[in-house]
Structure 1
Amino acid sequence: MKIFKDLWWFFKQEKRAYLIGIIALVTVSVLALIPARLIGLTVDAIASQTLSATRLGVIVAILIGAAVLMYGLRYVWRTHIFGSSLRLERQLRNRLFKHLTNMSGDFFQKHRTGDLMAHATNDLKSIQQVAGVGILTLADSVLTGGMVIVTMATLINWKLTVIALLPMPLIALSSQFLGKRLHISFRNAQSAFSQMNDYAQETIGGTKVTKTFGQEAAETTHFERQIDDVRHKNVVVARLDSAFDPAINIIVAMSYVLTLIGGAYLIRQAEMTVGDLVSFITYLGMLVWPMLAFGFLYNILERGSASYDRVAELMANEPAVSDRANASATTPVGDINMALTEVRYADEKIALHHIDVQLGAGETLGIVGRTGAGKTTLVQLLLRQVDDYNGSITIGGRDIKDYTLAALRQSIGYVPQDQFLFSATIRENIRFGRPEATQAEVEAVTRLTAIHDDILAFSEGYDTLVGERGVSLSGGQKQRIAIARALLMNPQLLILDDALSAVDAKTEEAIVSALRDTRADKTTIICAHRLSSVQHSEQVIVLEEGTIIEKGNHAHLMAEKGWYASIFEQQQLSATSESEVEARV
């Protein structure tokens, strides 16, 4: 019954709906007692030859009236009890989704997408069953069963009732024995389903890579093993599940045997009539469902409890980054200052150290360096995707931790290395941050990012569906659409994290030039491997092993003849060679 305690907050919230539903259910159970008793009285009247047409008409009328009332009341309890359970599922799903959207990046490194999807589907459905079918079976097994037993004892014969109920404690024992094992087995089955779901999602998303390496057969074999594991664990659940009904049916059969023996004896002792025995057996038949419902209830509760535990474990994760008390909701504007003594990864390895950068409002900062030098980590600190560091980062003279996350991120347009496009149209993807933007505004930013002509070349233009994660577009097209999406927000700070790597040098130059012209009064940070992207920046920093080894503008760094100058000259030489080859072709 732990699951009822876990969901008590919801039952209190929906107490009116559940109260109406249970009253309607109990009334149906009371009305269902009438036919059995009338049948017994009719049998005795026939046996004594006292059944008249008028009396039979009254009995039929009562039966019809009871049937009509039960029909209406069944509608009432179904809409109130099952309707409430669906509201629980909706509420939990909204809570889970909101929780996931508030989690930091490290959470998604530990929890895979398929596993999270299994929590949001199968597990929530099992919890919803507790609040719907679970409440129904609880009411049936306790209230209906109790009323039937009271009716049997008071209106028929209490001695026979005691005899018939002798095997009943075995139901509780068998349900408890099977229920504990079912809880463990169902949790294992749900975990296996999560793994299979995640593997399927990852494999489908990586279809191109699988085909490129010719690993279709290997992936299929691996997926078959996943399916076999899910099947095996669900078979264990099914075996335990299927053991409930036979066990209860055996106990019910024992009750019938004892009832026939005891009833025959009591009739011979003139303590009850044949009609009483017929009514009693009919009532005993009505008691079969509450007894089955008891086992079914145990099954539902164990499944729901296992799923609730899984979801509760997920919800117990706290976001690594959250708002401070009394944080300002004002959009940050002004100079950016980064003074970082030390930043470490989760494994305690130093990521950044001795970083000192001052960036004036409206200036452009270029961040360059080898792969793994710490460029993306520095950007993540500005976005507050990471909050654990020694030092300070301020915007407009105020620590970024003193702003709410919503206010901070609203002022930043971020284009990561791995652009994500939704399975929607090009227009909807660009408008993601500003759904109300006009077509003219959308086209203005696509012209800035040199993607407008490409879009018009598609048969559906801006209404072209890009497919999942933009699968129908090239890498350069995805990058330019992602930049356009960020520009449409007109952010105070635009961060391009190696977001021009997939475009050619000519297109890159056009985009960077357009950004200089249109964002003269706003701050821009460009992380890049191709140094031509940052050569016009007011300030460039070179990172190596997490620290700044060079700082200055393009002319200053070229004059120093250090890493920047060496790499820039190499890239320029390579670009010149490629141009000569193209000219010859």
Structure 2
Amino acid sequence: MKPLWRINKYLYKYKGLLLLGIVFTVISNIFVIIPAQLVRIAIDYVVDSFSLFRPLTKGGMGEIARENFLEYVFVFGVLILAMALLRGFFLFLIRQTIIIMSRRVEYDMKNEIFEHYQNLPLSFYRKNSTGDLMARISEDVSRVRMYLGPAIMYGLNLLILFPLVISYMVSVNAELTLYSLLPLPILSLSIYFVNNLINERSEKIQRSLSNLSTFVQEAFSGIRVLKAFVREEDSAREFAEASEEYKHKSIELTKVNALFFPLIMALVGISTIITVYVGGMKVIQGEIGYGVIAEFILYVNILTWPVTSLGWVTSIVQRAAASQTRINEFLDIKNDIVSTENTEMEIEGDIRVQGVSFVYPDSGIKALDNISFEIKAGQTLGIIGTTGSGKSTIANLLMRMYDPSSGQIFVDGRDIRSFSTSNLRKQIGFVPQDVFLFSDTIANNIAFGLDHPDMQLIEKAAKDADVYQNIVDFPKGFETMLGERGITLSGGQKQRVSIARAIAKEPKILILDDCLSAVDTKTENAILTALKKIMENRTSIIISHRVSSAKLADHIIVLDDGAIVERGDHESLMEQKGVYAELFEKQTQSPESIDN
């Protein structure tokens, strides 16, 4: 139970609903006990009345006795029906309090987890898969909700009903109580073990279904490759094998489920037989009346579900504790990217990187080694290097997705750690190498970084990124809905929309991380020409493996294996006849390797 203590704050928050639920549970259980007592009284009345009915009939008073007899039976029937209706009403109120409380807690928990996820650093997402993150915020939270809702509801019902019924049964006849309840502990243990089997097999089915879904998703996502390599038959065969496994596990679960209700009915039947036999002996001995047997049979049936639920509730609590442990594991992770002074100010764009080295914490790979450079506000820096040279790492450090392992980064002469991270990032326009667009309209994708979207600004950004004409050519223009990850657009169009999204923010610092890799030379030149105007009086960093992308830069640094090997402008670097000149010659002599 220790992991579940963490959610006590939610129980305290919704204590009003919980307390009302407890009150309604007590009242509903009172209306469970009273009908059983009414049945006992009614049966005893019928038995006693029947013994008097014959003499009265012979004396000519049979009709009057019959009317009185039926009148009392009718009254008993109405009272029992009223008790049942009242119990049903309070059961409704129990669900309207405890179950609603659990749903509200579920809502709060999901919001808390989602907000916490978003505040965690980039390193967290490098170490954990998206599927695992989603499982914890959906499946694990749902299991915890089952503890807060059904488990608490049925647990309270058992804790309240059991003492009420047992104490009354003992007061009537202790020996009959013992015999009639004898099978119930066996029932609870049996249900516990059966339920564990059900849970175990359910989880196997869930994993099998997850594998099946993943297989189908990959097959449909990669349908172009599948058809190109003529692997449809192999894919269908693998799907059939995965389906066969799922079917087999589902049948195994069905077999265990088949034990559930027969087991309950068998043990309830045994308890009823014992009650009738022992009760019958006591009636013969004159210790109890006929009505007591019927009353005890009703009590046994009343207690059957709470006792049955004990095993089920125990299993729910165990699963909820395991899920809460998984949730706590991520909630306990702290964001190490914190501001030292939480400074919020308009920046000019002066950047100084001083002796920065960086090692990725999850892999231990040294990405940067003692890097130093400076960009004055309004200048453009080109960062050139081959794949894996550390270019994108510099972009991540400038946006403070990570902190340097050693060295310092200054913006406008202030340590980057002193700025509020959100305030800093709002003033940086970033175009990533791996373009991500949301399943939304093109207009909303471009306006993603804007607090107050402006259509004129959106259109201007699209024109500057040389994607305006492509957009207006679509039947719905800027209102065109994009598919998953922007699949509606070509690679070049996606990158240009991504550039437009960064430009629309009107940032003080613009970082282009190899964002022109999916466009051809003509489009690259058109975008760079447009960017030349945009980059005026704005600090810009152009990161690329293509030398042609850096031609607008005032200053260029060349990276190799995490270190700066050359620096200068285009002319001076060409004169050095080093790495830069070699890259320039290779790229200008060879045809474009990537076209739009």
Please give the TM-score of this superposition, normalised by the length of structure 2. 0.88
| Corresponding residue for residue 448 of structure 2 | 432
Measured in 2, the distance between the counterparts of 1:578 and 1:218 equals 32
5+ residue gaps, structure 1, are 580-585
Q: Which of 111, 117, 128 is 2:128 aligned to?
A: 111
For residues 128 and 232 of structure 1, do their structure 2 counterparts lie closer, same or farther at Cα, with a shift above 3 Å needed?
Answer: farther
**Which range moved further: 532-541 or 139-148?**
139-148
Q: Is the 8 A contact 1:113 1:198 kept in 2?
A: no
Amino acid of the structure 1 residue aligned with 2:434: D
| 1:90 counterpart residue number | 107
What is the alpha-carbon distance in structure 1 between the residues aligned to residue 594 and residue 161 of structure 2?
Answer: 85
Say whether 1:531 aligns with 2:547: yes
Q: Provide the residue aligned with 2:57 in structure 1.
A: none
1:66 to 83, 87, 92: 83
The aligned counterpart of 1:417 is 433
**1:20 Cα shift?**
0.6
Q: Is the 8 A contact 1:497 1:527 kept in 2?
A: yes
Structure 1 equivalent of residue 44 of structure 2 = 44
Deviations 1:167-201 (A, max 9, x none): 34334544665677777666666666655555555
- 2:166 is aligned, of 149, 163, 176, to 149
Give the TM-score normalised by structure 1: 0.90
C-alpha contact (below 8 Å) 1:494/1:524 kept by paired residues: yes
Q: Give distance in 2, aligned partners of 1:253 and 1:547.
A: 81
Equivalent pair of 1:366/1:525 in contact (CA under 8 Å): yes
Shift of residue 376, structure 1, vs aligned partner: 1.0
Give the corresponding residue for 1:327. 342
Corresponding position of 1:343? 358
Partner Cα distance (1:304, 1:231) in 2: 27
1:286 match: 302
Deviations 1:327-368 (A, max 9, x none): 323354331011235322343332211311110011111111
> Which segment drifts farther, 277-286 or 303-312?
303-312
User: Does structure 2 retain, via aligned residues, the 8 Å contact 1:496–1:526?
Assistant: yes
Report the CA distance shift for 1:93/1:497 in structure 2 as closer, same or farther (over 3 A).
same
Question: Counterparts in 2 of 1:221-232, with a 5 A limit?
Answer: 221-222=237-238
Question: 1:425, 1:549 → 2: CA distance?
Answer: 43
Correspondence 1:124 to 2:123: no
Question: Secondary structure at the residue paired with 2:358?
Answer: strand
Structure 2 equivalent of residue 457 of structure 1 = 473
Aligned residue in 2 for 1:515: 531
What are the residue-to-residue correspondences of 1:305-316 with 2, within 5 Å? 305-316=321-332
Distance 1:236 1:502 in 2: 51
Residues of 2 paired with 1:315 and 1:578: CA distance?
43
Residue by residue, what CA displacement relative to the aligned partner does 1:45-97 show, whole Å, maximum 9, x if unpaired?
Answer: 11111763543343344234324433432222111111111112111211222
**Whole-angstrom distance in 2 between the partners of 1:312 and 1:227:** 34
Match of 2:567 in 1: 551
Per the alignment, residue 583 of structure 1 pairs with none
- For 1:85, the aligned partner's letter is S
Q: Distance in 1 between matches of 2:524 and 2:324?
A: 51
| Aligned AA (1:327) | N
**In the alignment, what sits opposite 1:266?**
282
Mapping for residues 171-182 of structure 1, pairs under 5 Å: 171=187, 173-174=189-190
**For the residues of structure 1 that align with 2:420 and 2:503, how far apart are their CA atoms?**
22
Deviates more, 1:170-179 or 1:395-404: 170-179
1:236 Cα deviation from its structure 2 partner: 6.6
How far residue 488 of structure 1 moved from its aligned partner, in angstroms, is: 0.6
Higher mean Cα deviation, 368-377 or 448-457?
368-377
1:393: which partner in 2?
409
Distance change in 2, residues 1:254/1:72 (3 Å):
closer
Q: Report the CA distance shift for 1:546/1:231 in structure 2 as closer, same or farther (over 3 A).
A: farther
What amino acid is aligned across from residue 474 of structure 2 in structure 1? F
Q: Quick check: 1:32 aligned with 2:32?
A: yes
Alpha-carbon spacing, 1:83–1:270, altered in 2? closer, same or farther (3 Å):
same
Q: Is 1:380 aligned with 2:396?
A: yes
Change (3 A) 1:67 1:257: closer
Contact 1:383/1:409, CA 8 A, preserved across alignment: yes
Give the conservation status (yes or no) of the 8 Å contact 2:195–2:312.
Answer: no
2:382 paired with 1:370? no
| Partner of residue 562, structure 1 | 578
Measured in 1, the distance between the counterparts of 2:429 and 2:402 equals 17
Cα gap change, 1:392/1:261 in structure 2, threshold over 3 Å: closer, same or farther? same
Query: Aligned partners of 1:152 and 1:540: how far apart in 2?
Result: 90
Task: Please tell me whether the aligned partners of residues 426 and 463 of structure 1 are also in contact (alpha carbons under 8 angstroms).
Answer: yes
Q: Note closer, same or farther for the CA distance 1:469–1:123 as it changes in structure 2 (3 Å cut).
A: same
Residues 204 and 96 from structure 1, CA distance in 2 versus in 1: closer, same or farther, beyond 3 angstroms? farther
Distance in structure 1 (CA, Å) of the matches to 2:558 and 2:405: 20
Which of 463, 477, 485 matches 2:501? 485
Contact 2:383 2:542 in 1 (8 A): yes
Larger deviation, residues 202-211 vs 99-108 = 202-211
Structure 1 letter corresponding to 2:314: Y
Matches within 5 A, 1:150-169: 150-154=167-171, 156-169=172-185
Q: Deviations over 1:301-343 (max 9, x none)?
A: 2332333233333334444x42144332335433101123532
Match of 2:371 among 335, 341, 355: 355
Query: 442-451 or 134-143: which moved more?
Result: 134-143
Please state if 1:136 is matched with 2:153. yes
Decide whether the 8 Å contact of 1:423 with 1:467 is kept in 2: yes
Identical pairs, percent: 34
Q: Would you say the 8 A contact 2:21–2:94 is kept in 1? A: yes
1:449/1:109 CA distance change after superposition, 3 Å:
same
Q: Is the 8 A contact 1:184 1:306 kept in 2?
A: no
For 1:340, what is the secondary structure of its paired residue?
strand
CA deviation map 1:373-417 (0-9, x unaligned): 111112111122222411111111112122222122112111111
Distance 1:182 1:401, change over 3 A: farther
Native 8 Å contact 1:179 1:302 kept in 2? no
User: Comparing 531-540 with 443-452, which one deviates more in the overlay?
Assistant: 531-540
C-alpha distance 3-197 of structure 1, shift in aligned 2 (>3 A): farther
Name the aligned partner's letter for residue 342 of structure 2.
A
Question: In 2, Cα distance between the equivalents of 1:173 and 1:578?
Answer: 67
* Residues in 1 aligned to 2:137 and 2:248: alpha-carbon distance in whole angstroms: 23
Residues 395-445 of structure 1: CA deviation (Å, up to 9, x unaligned): 111121222221221121111111001111111111111152221111101
Secondary structure, counterpart of 2:410 in structure 1: strand
SS at match of 2:363: coil
Could you tell me how far apart the structure 2 residues matched to 1:150 and 1:369 are?
A: 82
Q: How many residues align?
A: 577
